[in-house]
Amino acid sequence: MIEYIIGHINYWLIVAIMMVGLYTLMSRSNLIKKLAGLSMFQTAVILFYVSLGKVTGGTVPIISEKYSLYSNPLPQVLMLTAIVVGVATTALGFALVIRIKEAYNSVEENEISAMDEKE
Amino acid sequence: MSLVVNLVLLVFLLVMALAVLKTRHLFAMAMLFGLYSLLVAGLFVVLDAPDVAFTEAAVGTGISTVLMLVTLASIKDGHELISTQKSRTAPLIICVLMGGLLIYGTHDIAELGDAQSAPHMQVAARYIEKGQEETGVPNLVTAVLASYRGFDTLGEVTVVLTAGIGVLMLLGSRKKLRIKEVSNGK
Amino acid sequence: MANDLILRVVTKWLSPIIILFALYVQFHGDYSPGGGFQAGVIFSSAILLYALTYGLDAALQLIPEYILRIGASLGVLIYGGVGVASMILGGNFLNYSVLGSTPVAGQHLGIIIIELGVGITVASVMVLLFFTFARRVAPE
Amino acid sequence: MEQLTILLIVIPLMVAPITALIPSEKVTWFLTLIVCLISLGISCYILYEVIDGSHVIYELGGWRPPWGIEYKIDSLNAFVALIVSAIGCLSCLFAYRSVPDEIEEKMIPLFYAAFQLCLLGLLGIALTGDIFNLFVFLEISSLSSYALISMGKNRKALTAAFSYLILGTIGATFFLIGVGFLFAASGSLNTADIASRFDSFKDMQLVETALIFMVLGIALKAAIFPLHSWLPNAYSQAPSTVGIFLSATATKVSIYVLLRILYDLYPFDYWVDMLLPQIMLSLGCVAVIYGSYRAWQQTEMKRLLAFSSVAQIGYIVIGFSLVSQLGLTAAILHLFNHALIKSTLFIGAGILLYRANTTELGSLRGLGRDMPWTFAAITLAGLSLIGVPGTVGFVTKWYLLEAAVEKGMWIVVITIVLGSVLAIGYVWKIVENLYFRSKHKVHIQDVPSGDSAIARTPKTMSIALWIGAILCIFFGLNTELSFEAASSAATALLKQ
């Protein structure tokens, strides 16, 4: 039982962070906060992947004569790509927020959809 | 030992995420968000992923946070309104469902650090075994990134270019257009 | 901020060091953590620091926008170009082995060039993003 | 031959960055058209090569799979690539006059570059055999479509793009979680490799959860009811060219991904045991009724068409949830047919927008009499949407009905018939307003005076419209060609 918990608690905490991120994204009306939530959600997924690659007693995957056990490079490579995709999405999101602010003079989703309804 | 460090950092991270959720002051949120990224970068170091940590520190703490601050500066609005209309039950239910499903899924996942688990035994084994020999690069992350999965990286660079083009399309014109007026005036 | 003497002096000293570090990360990425992407972001942070201290206009004089636009495209073209070159030399797309006299030399050469492409695009786009955003903040 | 397949990706990839730098709208348009035409040519050729059931394998970087990324192109891949590049050509033809009208002049090169990147992303999704690579290309196409949609004239385009960005990213991240879980169970990212070793890890809960997350993520991207909320606004607010291109391709490509996951990555009986077909079938039926009903309620043409897309996606979902050769063929055929019909109708709407500066049906009254040819083409496409015999819409609906009868699913038969009746309702709404209602004001004078170009429909637009309309009839009467391709694709999927 204890072993099961020790082996899994890392993943459970990551799941909890994902949930907080998604909740921030869905429950908040402020567009910037939504993007922060989105970013947290993505980061938690990235953390999950990198955890998959960890090997106990292993070392950084740079070949050297001193070590024989290395962590898995593949999840790390995938996540480098995912981080870049994440920042690209966030940047585009912020650009949209600036334009929305100029067009609606608000960054609150409630107010904006109320304005859209009126038209 | 590293597991303890890992757990402590994860708990900090959770607290930071909750703080981002709770704070109403958006500039404070930007700072907390930067801290969140920094903690994640720290976690990556503990997980033996210095390349990812490097990137996260530079991107999450650097670029993302700076862009968030610049956005906040340009919209000149540092506070989140207390919204009353937006229902919070539905998001909560969805998040709990998602969390439950994920925990159900991770039931039979290999324990953290298990060297015998599938991700280490299959494809990755060959990268570690032959990576340096085949590419001449000792940093396996670079080897896989640039050669074995070089096409992914080409896609990644294209994503960066796409983001640049997208932002230029949105914010590139020097004068601030009032979109509404343009559509009416035509 | 543009009038703060300490900031100005520190920035003047720090920026070249950051750029030097970016170059180290770029070209030493085969042996130590780092690579084109990280180097690009670090390089852009040097320009960001300069822009924050000396103002946007000074930074734009240092690196005009059209250079950034060309850089953003150029990086992708370098990367794709390596792929096309390896096709012309008889390999598959992005098969660097055909680029050098031996497969390993070819791989190494290919990796260095494409990392350079990544670095150029990332650095240009990141600075471009910051400039484009920052222009919207300009006091009215 | 093999090198030709990768050119499909390489050409837009190399041309897009150059396009972004050229400060001329004519040149950038021409480059885009050339890219689309070359892609069309190559994908036709590949489809011709693989239609007999063989496939082309291309190892990127020369690394053998599963260590490297491979392209394994069978007739389904080629068919989807053909749809994407064909619609790309049509919308590019339309763009010649529409884009300068709708987009700020300085932004046009960037617009075309983003358009090419979107094309590149969709083609990449259609060809790759690696699930993580698929995610990367999914993001290229998504990011460029967010930017493209936000270029709409009305400020609502911005909010539409923003909510699409949020939902699209949630979808992509869910897909990424699914890929991660599958990777944790299998240790591989290559579709064929995972499928071949599937038995060794099929009992894991990880694999089950992975399927749920991947399906959810892609369903969000494909706007399958009830995850369609982003679609109507995004497609109706986008610039006309973007609306044409995305409405005909983006959701189709996502559905293609869904097909790959369900039929290729996971073995067939695995998800049949999970009751997934029943769930999807009922969602598909609800989507058909709901989408058609909401379309019928709309008063603005582009929104009407967007809601009709929700219904049409429902038909496709019904098709592949029937889990039979015939149903699957109908679904794949409808990918093509619907892409054709919807792009034609969106081109029609784009022409109306260009001429009358509005697509509100109320203010378009009687305009059809002024522009009989445009009106005729719109009517033809509308008839296809309903499924009148002799048009492409009829072909798919017929096969769909046949597949449903074969399975004895009478509810599905009733739904399809009811959906068609509602389709008559909403298509009639367009026709009635355009032709049979009397004008309440003169429209052509609405536009800025002295702009004679606006008083006539530009030739390129008419050509694009009529190509679409004629193809709707051509493939309706001459079904062998498209049917053979779809049926070969269905066989390829079921064989795994």
Q: Does residue B66 belong to the interface with chain A, where contact is any CB pair within 8 Å?
A: no
pLDDT tier at D441, thresholds 50, 70, 90: low
What total of structural domains would you count in chain A?
1
* N-to-C CA span, chain C: 17
Quick one: average pLDDT of D438-452?
Answer: 52
Quick one: average pLDDT of A108-114?
Answer: 85
In tens, the pLDDT along D449-496 reads 444 445 678 888 888 899 999 988 888 888 888 888 888 888 888 875
Kindly state whether residue C63 falls inside one of the protein's structural domains.
yes
**pLDDT (0 to 100) of residue B179:** 42
Considering the segment(s) B1-80 as one domain, its CATH architecture is Up-down Bundle (1.20)
User: What distances in angstroms separate CA C61 from CA C4, C55, C130, D281, one per listed residue?
Assistant: 20, 10, 15, 61
Is there a contact between D375 and D427 (Cβ–Cβ < 8 Å)? no
**pLDDT (0 to 100) of residue D455:** 62
For residue B38, the tally of other CB atoms under 10 A from its CB is 17
**pLDDT (0 to 100) of residue B185:** 35
Q: What percent of chain D has pLDDT over 90?
A: 45
D360 forms beta bridges with D300
Closest residue of chain B to D205, computed from CA coordinates = B105
Residue C91 CA to residue D62 CA, distance in Å, equals 7
Is there a contact between A71 and A83 (Cβ–Cβ < 8 Å)? no
Provide the ipTM: 0.94
Is there a contact between B153 and A81 (Cβ–Cβ < 8 Å)? yes
Q: Looking at residue A75, which CATH number applies to its domain?
A: 1.10.287.3510
Residue D20 CA to residue D14 CA, distance in Å, equals 11
Q: Chains B, C: CB contacts under 8 A, how many?
A: 139
Residue B48: closest CA among D188, A76, A42: A76
**pLDDT (0 to 100) of residue A49:** 92
Return phi, psi of residue A30, to 5°.
-75, 125
Residue D334 CA to residue C13 CA, distance in Å, equals 64
**pLDDT (0 to 100) of residue C28:** 86
Q: Does residue B164 belong to the interface with chain C, where contact is any CB pair within 8 Å?
A: yes
Residues of the domain holding C10:
5-135
- Confidence (pTM): 0.94
What are the residue ranges spanned by the domains of chain B? 1-80, 138-186
Closest residue of chain C to B73, computed from CA coordinates = C137
In tens, the pLDDT along D132-149 reads 999 999 999 999 999 999
Which residues, in sequence order, are CB contacts of D482 under 8 Å at separation 6+? D333, D336, D337, D392, D395, D475
**pLDDT (0 to 100) of residue C140:** 47
pLDDT tier at C35, thresholds 50, 70, 90: confident
Q: Closest to B155 (Cβ–Cβ): which among D136, D153, D154? A: D136
What total of structural domains would you count in chain C?
1
**pLDDT (0 to 100) of residue C2:** 53
Kindly state whether residue C140 falls inside one of the protein's structural domains.
no
The C-alpha angle with vertex B162 and arms to B157 and B163, in degrees rounded to 5, equals 100
pLDDT tier at C139, thresholds 50, 70, 90: low
| pLDDT surpasses 80 at D286 | yes
Tell if the CB–CB gap between A48 and D139 is shorter than 8 Å: no
Residues of the domain holding A52:
2-118
Q: For residue A7, list chain B residues with Cβ-Cβ distance below 8 A.
A: 111-112, 114
State the average pLDDT for chain D: 88
Tell if the CB–CB gap between C33 and A60 is shorter than 8 Å: yes
Subunit partners of chain A (3 or more CB pairs within 8 A): B, C, D
pLDDT greater at residue A68 or residue B42: B42
In tens, the pLDDT along A20-49 reads 999 999 888 889 999 999 999 999 999 999
Strand ranges, E, within D199-322: none
Q: What percent of chain A has pLDDT over 70?
A: 100
Quick one: average pLDDT of D205-228?
Answer: 91
Q: What percent of chain C has pLDDT over 70?
A: 96
pLDDT tier at D439, thresholds 50, 70, 90: low
Q: What percent of chain B has pLDDT over 90?
A: 37
**pLDDT (0 to 100) of residue D169:** 95
Kindly state whether residue C128 falls inside one of the protein's structural domains.
yes
**pLDDT (0 to 100) of residue B85:** 61
Q: B37-41, D69-73, D364-368, D383-387: lowest mean pLDDT where? A: D364-368
Q: Does residue A103 belong to the interface with chain C, where contact is any CB pair within 8 Å?
A: no
In tens, the pLDDT along D90-137 reads 999 999 888 888 888 888 999 999 999 999 999 999 999 899 999 999
